[in-house]
Structure 1
């Protein structure tokens, strides 16, 4: 009998791409520290997931200074040992981040037709300082950008809600508004739970609804120093 009959099917990838604002304003009130911890916790949780139906991949695009950059190229979460901490500096080139995200999504060798629908996560505490409209339109109208699950978080009162709402495409989970450090963790924990549930599901392409209110506000559970709030 052919050994092929006993071959274990390779898990399909479930890509998660984070677009993180690392402009100078993120350096105040503990925002960048909370973001660093939240991203690390997300990756750590994904790393512990067994690849049954779906194998979670993570990529991180940062936008701060003069341009956006691929801080963490898309890779299997199980193989990400450590991440360089994010630094906050400069302006908010969000439009360039949209361009980079589109390039990653449409790379047929990086994300194959066999892979599951990607998850995009955008977070920002300010107003884009470059020409973001064309980049956002290209992303949201691209073949894979349209199909991706897109979530957004507004950090603080200065975040441009209109841009984040244009990016977000989950009507059941509108733009999440983070008013203090604990909220960044609540947002990432909710998205982490949703992605993890998808990876364990028999139908990973189906979106798992997110209800931020159900997470509560248990400061002790988060283990955070919440003196820095905004």
Structure 2
């Protein structure tokens, strides 16, 4: 067997899917600006990771006024630039859930060889469309049940009951962001957890997220 007979084994995908509330209420108190910076930083960090064991992929679904697949699920190292999000309109979370379910169950986009996905829901308000059916379809889907589902409640007006039911991390069923600074703090913690998973020889095994709201801003190197 010659050298040309060997084929490099490609890294298995590790999907990270973010469902982001971009409704009008996210436009106040610097929340959308913090989210934009957090997502940009996360994608940049993922893109720099080694792909020896896992290839981190990122997808972004936004719900504000309408529902958009703002960023199709793509290898992080191939994502060039990040188009900032705008905050406007109502909160069609149910429609976003249906889009996420379709994405998770599409085996052409997420092949069977992929590692356990990470699905992140962030919101500062209550859904303004039908939520019961879409929520049940998402959380009962085979792949969503196997995924690591995380939820971030922003401020005091979020639907914490719904967000808590969405999360399936028994140690931290719901994360809180008291202000815009905490949004970046949370995403940095998630980034560290996912990067640790991608370097592991067992990337499907969850890694604890070390997140503490209200951390010192100096430690976060905030620039907004």
TM-score scaled by length of structure 1: 0.94
Deviations 1:118-163 (A, max 9, x none): 0000000000000011111111110101000000000000000011
Which structure 2 residues correspond to residues 199-210 of structure 1 after superposition, within 5 A?
A: 199-210=198-209
2:82 aligned with 1:83 = yes
Deviations 1:153-184 (A, max 9, x none): 00000000011011100011221111111110
Cα distance, 1:9–1:31 mapped onto 2, change above 3 Å? same
Distance in 2, Cα, partners of 1:86 & 1:52: 32
- Which residue in the other structure is 1:32 paired with? 32
- Which residue in the other structure is 1:219 paired with? 217
- Which residue in the other structure is 1:94 paired with? 93
Which 5+ residue runs of structure 1 have no aligned equivalent? none
Secondary structure at the residue paired with 1:43? helix
- Which residue in the other structure is 2:58 paired with? 58
Distance in 1, Cα, partners of 2:214 & 2:162: 27
Q: CA deviation at 1:3?
A: 3.9
Deviations 1:160-215 (A, max 9, x none): 001101110001122111111111011101111111011000000101111313x8
2:28 aligned with 1:11 = no
Q: Once superposed, which parts of structure 1, at least 4 consecutive aligned residues long, lie more than 6 Å away?
A: none
TM-score scaled by length of structure 2: 0.96
Could you tell me whether the CA contact under 8 Å between 1:173 and 1:209 is conserved in 2?
no
- Which residue in the other structure is 1:165 paired with? 164
2:187 aligned with 1:188 = yes
Could you tell me whether the CA contact under 8 Å between 2:16 and 2:59 is conserved in 1?
yes
Distance in 2, Cα, partners of 1:216 & 1:96: 32
Could you tell me whether the CA contact under 8 Å between 2:182 and 2:214 is conserved in 1?
no
Deviations 1:36-59 (A, max 9, x none): 000000000001001010000000
Q: CA deviation at 1:5?
A: 6.0
Say what the alpha-carbon RMSD is for the aligned residues: 1.4
Distance in 1, Cα, partners of 2:111 & 2:153: 31
Secondary structure at the residue paired with 1:212? coil
Aligned residues: 224
Cα distance, 1:62–1:115 mapped onto 2, change above 3 Å? same
Distance in 1, Cα, partners of 2:214 & 2:130: 37
- Which residue in the other structure is 2:106 paired with? 107
